[in-house]
Amino acid sequence: MNKDILLEVKNLHVGYKTHMGISQVLQGVHLTVRKGERIGVIGESGSGKTTTMKSILKILPSNGMIKEGEILYQGRNILEMKQEELLELRRKKISMIFQDPTSALNPLFKVGQLMLDIIKYSYNLEETEAKEMALKALRDAALPDPERVFDSYPFQLSGGMRQRVCIALALIGDRELIIADEPTTNLDVTIKAQVLNLLTKLVRERNVGWIFVSQALGAVRENVDRVYVMYAGNIIEWGQTEKVFSNPLHPYTQKLLECVPKLTGTEFSKGIRGRVPNYFNPPSGCRFHPRCDFVMDECKKTFPEPVEVETGHFVACNLYRRR
Amino acid sequence: MENEYILKIQNLKKYFETPYGTVRAVDDISLKVRKGTTMGLVGESGSGKSTTGHVVVGLFPPTSGKIFFKNKDISVPLEKRPKELKRDIQMVFQDPASSLNPKKIIRDIVGLPLKVHKMVQTKEELEEKVAKLLEMVELPPEDFMYRRPVDIGGGEKQAVSIARAIATNPSFVIFDEPTSALDVSIQAKIINSILNIQREFKLTSLFITHDLSLMRNISSEVTIMYLGKVCEIAPTDVFFQKPLHPYTQMLLSSVPVLTKEEEELKPKGIKSIGEIGSPIHPPSGCRFHPRCPYAKEICKKKEPRLIEVEPGHFVACHLYAEK
């Protein structure tokens, strides 16, 4: 057991029970986060990013079913933990920052009250100590005038400030892993940059592991060490950020990067033909095969085994096998 | 020469009365759009970019100021606008889900403007025209004609809105963030349809967006707005080579990018700070001064005028004031 590894997701299969049958969303997702490592997960909507993150914290909606797989946190399987252990984990070790700070903060309580409740519940502290901790967290999140923020209702703060409050909450105490699911999607461009800079700075300083989930490819590229690319419930490519972005291997990754408009004005592609698959009846083999320009017979049969093309840069695509 | 401009906005103001005070959404802006070109209107939330679009298309009457379209004054309430004008100016909205009637089939949605403007006589003629329009936005008519908006994807819905907008053969189309709700691969498809249509119909358009990289690829001229004011107007190429206004520089430096070439375009030495001010109580003088690293005494007191620093390149900033 490598002591360096904080979180390891292995062969995760997750589906949802619906009135239309059981959807097969995740198909063998895997992910590794080392201590203090910054990980990016990219993919388009519906690729299973959020389902993966929710599985890690075991906060899937009630119709979600984890069918197979292991989620090891420092060697211990989260999926087999007792409720008490799981709560302890969520209280002190892993925290999550959601996309929409407005719905993540209860509108009926002042920010201070929300923070105090969480701190007291997690750490058994006295009121004054807890308040000290809350104010420090707000200060660390670069909120101007933390006293005022502490005494405000969420609606009295701007979107950027609300997300800073969520970041402050997520980083209270000695966290080891922060999961941020599209933390800046709802914010304006200049505010986005501020919030991301803050998050990266805090994550670095405190040496916590960070999973940054986003559709914003540029933002991921600028802020993480390693990146995983998801398509239709599979991890199809992963490796060091610079390698994946400068030398994308999977046909989907290549196409996806071509779709992003560039500041240089270089012409971008005409999109990817076809549609994202339906999870009730997903394509056999590689789920990208109906949209792939390089499709071969074997792609339709089995999901390709990942291949390490260059050190640390893996791809699950038949084009790279048998070399 | 004056005929070259299809749209001229002069000292346009649009205020909204709210219980909290007057929102100065658009506060005295002037701009001109040349025939056959695309003007990109860029800004963050509260900048007034969408309101400007809405006033031009006639959803709200202006509080004061003039709008000239093809040299005719159109700054009158919507019901007083000639019907011909409504045919000639069309709009594509941000959220395709709420701008299409969920109970109607696509044929009727796209066909409605044709009926209203009496451009078709018979049912066969209508279907034939709608089929042509759907082909133009790359939706196979036989698949889509009789479906309803709920049965199709987000990108396809936006394609339907575009088909509806061009149904009456307008000469001016306002695109209000048409792709901000879509995934990048779908965005690429929609943008390509828009570019093709612009070329084919020799359309003039106003393209409203917050995404500078996208704007780079689609517009010939750029207007940057901040809190109801115009900061800078420039031809796109010039704009990216030489952004002048400190806000423009901050905006550009905040864009996350994918390649090294793009990184070189980002202005160095400016960092995003502060919060976007309130449009009810905007900061005095230059509205950007509380966030501006170069702010001087004069910036707090006097509002900068929009001046032409080189042909076609306008900026409203005291740094460039006439000497």
Burial class (CB in 10 A: 0-12, 13-18, 19+), A108: exposed
H/E run at residue A308: strand A307-310
- Rounded to whole angstroms, the Cα distance separating A60 from A15 reads 10
Bridge partners (DSSP) of residue A34 are A5
pLDDT tens column, A64-100? 999 999 999 999 999 999 999 999 999 999 999 998 8
Report the pLDDT value the prediction gives residue B286, as an integer from 0 to 100: 95
pLDDT in tens, B28-81: 999 999 999 999 999 998 899 999 999 999 999 999 999 999 999 998 877 888
Would you say A97 and A181 are in contact if contact means Cβ atoms under 8 Å apart? yes
Measured in angstroms, the CA of A125 and the nearest CA of chain B are apart by 34
Domain with B16, as residue range(s), is 2-320
- A43 and A26 in contact (C-beta within 8 Å)? no
Asked if A227 and A42 count as a contact pair (C-beta separation under 8 A), the reply is yes
* Gap between the Cα atoms of A25 and A22, Å rounded: 9
Kindly give the pairing relationship between strand B221-226 and strand B229-235. Answer: antiparallel
Can you list the residues of chain A whose pLDDT is less than 50?
A: none
Instruction: Quote the distance between the C-alpha of residue A169 and its chain's center.
Output: 17
Residue B323 has pLDDT above 80, yes or no: no
Residues of A in contact with B240 (CB under 8 A): 263, 265
Q: What is the CATH number of the domain that holds B225?
A: 3.40.50.300
Probe site for chain A from B38, B44, B49, B184 (most A CB atoms < 10 A): B184
Interchain CB distance below 8 Å, B188 and A188: no
C-alpha distance from A85 to closest chain B C-alpha (Å) = 38
pLDDT of residue A267: 78
Q: Which chain B residues are within 8 Å of A258, Cβ to Cβ? A: 188
Which pLDDT belongs to residue B302?
94
Residue in A with minimal Cα distance to B236 = A265
How is chain A split into domains, by residue range? 5-93+178-194+208-320, 101-174
CATH number of A5-93+178-194+208-320: 3.40.50.300
Q: Rounded distance, CA B116 to CA B162, Å?
A: 17
Residues A160, B275: C-beta atoms closer than 8 Å: yes
State the Cα–Cα distance between residues A237 and A257, nearest whole angstrom: 13
Residue B285 has pLDDT above 80, yes or no: yes
State residue A269's pLDDT score: 82
How many Cβ contacts (< 8 angstroms) between chains A and B?
121
Mean pLDDT value across residues B295-308: 94
Q: CA angle B191-A43-A49, nearest 5°?
A: 140
pLDDT at B309 exceeding the cut of 80: yes
Instruction: Search chain B and give the residue with CA nearest A253.
Output: B185
Q: Does the distance separating the beta carbons of A161 and B189 come in below 8 Å?
A: no
Q: How many structural domains compose chain B?
A: 1
At residue B45, the pLDDT reads: 87
For residue A198, what pLDDT is reported? 93
pTM comes to 0.90
- Express the helix, strand and coil content of chain B in percent, nearest 5 each: 40, 25, 35
pLDDT at B1: 47
- Cβ B183 vs Cβ A256: under 8 Å: no
B170, exposed or middle or buried, with CB in 10 Å at 0-12, 13-18, 19+?
buried
Q: What percent of chain B has a predicted confidence (pLDDT) above 90? A: 80
| Paired tokens of B178 | 């048409």
A189 touches chain B (CB under 8 A): yes
Note which residues in 113-172 of chain A have CB less than 8 A from chain B: 158, 160-161
Query: Which element (helix H / strand E) includes B198?
Result: helix B184-201
Sign of CA dihedral A175, A181, A184, A186: negative
Contacts of B266 in chain A (CB under 8 A): 263
Q: What is the DSSP letter of A85?
A: H
